[in-house]
Structures are given as structure tokens and as C-alpha cells.
Amino acid sequence: MIVGILGAGQLARMIALAGYPLGVEFIFLDPSADACANRLGTHLLGDYNDPRLLAELAERADVVTYEFENVPADVAEFLASHTQVHPAPKALAVAQDRLVEKGFFNSLDIPTPAYAAVDSLADLQQAMPTIGWPAILKSRTMGYDGKGQSLLKSADDLATAWDLLAGAPAIVEAFVPFGREVSIIAARSVSGETVFYPLSENRHRGGILRVSESRAGDPMQAQAEAYISKLMVALDYVGVLALELFEIDGRLIANEFAPRVHNSGHWTIEGAETSQFENHLRAILAMPLGATSAVGKAAMVNFIGGLPVTEDLLAIPHAHLHLYDKAPRKGRKVAHATLRTETAAQLAGLVQQLEALADAVDDS
């Protein structure tokens, strides 16, 4: 079996690492010569919309998937008309545009923060009395890790925030004073069989994910599963999907979804019976899905912009290092480490040690 992946970054790399034991081979399309998955399969080097390379990818791969959601719609459609593509291009179209995504959530009765479309400064000024303060202005497309976002605290912030977007279509949404952020990851197979991972509890810094912890038995699990099930059924989804949520006063509010494997699920490599990467492959290759149950208590810490000394990290009990083979650069995720322990008490102290190592090299 050959799986084609659009993108050859760390998510593609971890999918490939999960695929080799299943006898799967990989072919990546990525415009960067030093993309970090490129030594784990065939690398087609070029633009995502290069017709010759897309034709080659469709020809050689049994199924095509992607590691990021900003794949141009016509590229996904072209591939889908020549080979199997999972998840289907519709999931990309919804996830690419925050306004469409919020409307989609609401059409499924999945709550979101109050929001309004913003195409001009006048739109923004008009929306604020309804949205309320504080609020966040976000570009509708191409936003991730907090990029293209501004916090609006008063009317004085509006013009600067709008100017920063340089005319890009935007969305303004109410700031949610959440108690915590969680995400749910699920995998759905071609036959509609669906499995859910225990919730991840996530902490961000500067809009970038810093720490995720597995939360088996979390009281919000059932609500999160109900929401992600609705999304997967409505999108006729095949593969792994991640839904990011805010929890406030025992209620979940949707932030966004990612039609792919997700950073908040990296702990599943050591902390679940089957990792999100393996289950993504099993789903898109029509194989039976693997059990998602937690193995012990797990947490993941991202290394952003700098790498720890390997020996220092491995000296932390129960720590597992995942280097992405990427040159450190400001704001760039270059590695993560997972901890897996028997008890929550054991985990807490070790997470602190791991975060201290990450803080020492972090330049984000």
C-alpha cells in the first residue's frame, strides 16, 4: 500500500513512522527541499498545484491524505477525481475559512462564541456592540497558532487591528473567559466505525500549544464525543479529526476543528493503545481501527524554537523524545516529548521538569 501525503512536515513524518510497521509506504508532495519527512519516503519536490507532480502523486498513491488544511480546494478536487482522497475535500473547505466553519458548527447545534463577519473597519465598528468586549479579530483564512489574530480590548484597538490584516477578510468573535481548553480526537473509518480518544487538556502560550495532558474519565468526554460525532457524520468523514473546545462553567464551546492528526494528540504515541497516527492510516486504508484507551497518564510538551540537550531530557524519568529533524527557528515547533506515568501525582512533577527544559530553550 502506498499513501500519498500533501505536506512533509512533522505530522507527515509521524504518520510515516506509524505506517512502516503496517507495511505502508509513503510518497510526499512538499515545496521545501528539506521538509522533515522527506527521508521517510519518496519526496516529490514542488508546488502543491504543480499539475505534473499532482498527476504523479495520484498515479502512484493508493490513497492521498494531507497534514495541513490549507490545501487549495482545486488541488484536493483534482486528486479526488483521480484517486481516493481522505478526508474528502469538503472537510478542507469548511476548516479553511473560520466564518464557514463557525456557520457549520451552528448548523449542527454545536455552540460557538458570538461572531460576525468583518470585511471593513466599518463592519468591525458595527459588530462590536453585539459581540461585546473583549473580542478577538482573526483572519478568516490561513490562520494557525494564533497568527493573524488581535485581541480587542477597547474601541481604540479597532483601527490598528484592522490595519494589521491588510484588507484580508476577517471574523470578530467574543473572547471566551474559559476555565480550560480541551480537544477531542476521533477516527472514523470508511464503514463509519468511529473511535474516540480520551480528552486532551491543553495549555497554549502566545497562541501556540505548549502542553497537552490525557484526561481519561473527564466529565466533559460525553459532550465532546457528541459534538465531534455530529461533525464527522455531517462531513462523511474518513480519517482522524480534532476538535478544539473551550470549557466554561461545565459547557463546551467550539473553537475550531482540524481535518487531520493534531498536535494535542501527540501523547497518544505512548499514552494510548493505538496512536492517532496509526488510526489515521487504519481509517483511510479501510483497516479495522485500533483501541484508543489511555495507557497510564500521559502529557506532551512542545519544544518551540529551540532543542533541549537530548541527554538532559532522557534523564527525566518516563520521558520520550520526538525530534522532528528540523532546524530550530523562532516560533517553529522542532520536537516534543511525552511523559507516561502510572499516577497523576507522578505526572505533575515530571511535567514541571519537562516544561523547565522547554522554557530554557524556548524563544517564541
3-class SS at 68?
A: coil
Contact 40, 56 (CB under 8 A): no
Residue from 60, 82, 180, 204 binding ligand AMP (CB under 6 A): 204
Identify the residue among 42, 62, 90, 175 touching ligand AMP (CB under 6 A): 175
Binding string, 211-250, against ligand AMP, x = CB under 6 A?
A: ---------------------------------x------
CB of 306 to ligand AMP, least distance (A): 21
Between 84 and 150, name the residue whose CB sits nearer to ligand AMP: 150
The residues, any chain, with a CB within 8 Å of residue 268's CB and separated by 6 or more, are 185, 197, 214, 274, 275, 276, 277, 292, 298
Q: How far apart are CA 10 and CA 166, in angstroms?
A: 30
Pair 44, 38: CB distance under 8 Å = no
Determine the Cα–Cα distance for residues 89 and 71; give it in Å rounded to an integer: 9
**Separation of first and last alpha carbons in the chain:** 39
Q: CB-based burial of residue 30 (10 Å sphere; 0-12 exposed, 13-18 middle, 19+ buried)?
A: buried
Distance separating alpha carbons of residues 97 and 90, to the nearest angstrom: 12
Nearer to ligand AMP, 232 or 258 (CB): 258
Apex CA 332: angle with CA 327 and CA 334, to 5°? 55
Q: Are 285 and 63 in contact (CB under 8 A)?
A: yes
Q: Which of 79, 288, 265 is nearest to 189 (CA)?
A: 288
Residue 259 as a binder of ligand AMP (CB under 6 A): the answer is: no
Cβ atoms of 344 and 322 closer than 8 Å: no
Residue 30 or residue 181: which is nearer to ligand AMP going by CB?
A: 181
Neighbours of 161 (CB within 10 A): 21
Is the CB of residue 195 less than 8 Å from the CB of residue 169?
no
Binding window for ligand AMP (CB under 6 A); candidates: 77-85, 140-148, 186-194, 310-318? 140-148
Q: How far is the CB of 255 from ligand AMP (least distance, A)?
A: 5
Region near ligand AMP per CB under 6 A, out of 81-89, 175-183, 187-195, 220-228: 175-183
* Among 9-17, 25-33, 174-182, 264-272, the segment contacting ligand AMP (CB under 6 A): 174-182
The answer to whether residue 46 forms part of the interface with ligand AMP (CB under 6 A) is no
Asked if 172 interacts with ligand AMP (CB under 6 A), we say no
Using CB under 6 A as the binding rule, whether residue 30 contacts ligand AMP is answered as no
Q: Indicate which single residue of 69, 181, 213, 247 sits in contact with ligand AMP (rule: CB under 6 A).
A: 181
176 in contact with ligand AMP (CB under 6 A): yes
Options 103-111, 172-180, 308-316, 353-361: segment touching ligand AMP (CB under 6 A):
172-180
x-or-dash pattern for ligand AMP, window 147-166, by CB under 6 A?
--------------------
In the bound state, the residue with its beta carbon closest to ligand AMP is 176
The number of CA neighbours under 13 Å toward the Cβ of 218 is 28
Quick one: 200 or 275, whose CB is closer to ligand AMP? 200
- Say if residues 292 and 273 touch (Cβ distance below 8 Å): yes
Q: Please calculate the CA angle 20-25-26 and round it to the nearest 5 degrees.
A: 115
Q: Shortest distance, CB of residue 173 to ligand AMP, whole angstroms?
A: 5
User: What length does the chain have?
Assistant: 364
- Min dist CB 148 to ligand AMP, Å, is 8
* Structure letter (DSSP) for residue 124: H
Nearest approach, Cβ of residue 11 and ligand AMP (Å): 16
150, 255, 274, 292: which one binds ligand AMP (CB under 6 A): 255
Is residue 136 a contact point for ligand AMP (CB under 6 A)? yes
The answer to whether residue 143 forms part of the interface with ligand AMP (CB under 6 A) is yes
- Interface positions with ligand AMP (CB under 6 A): 113, 136, 143-144, 146, 173, 175-176, 181, 204, 207, 244, 255-256
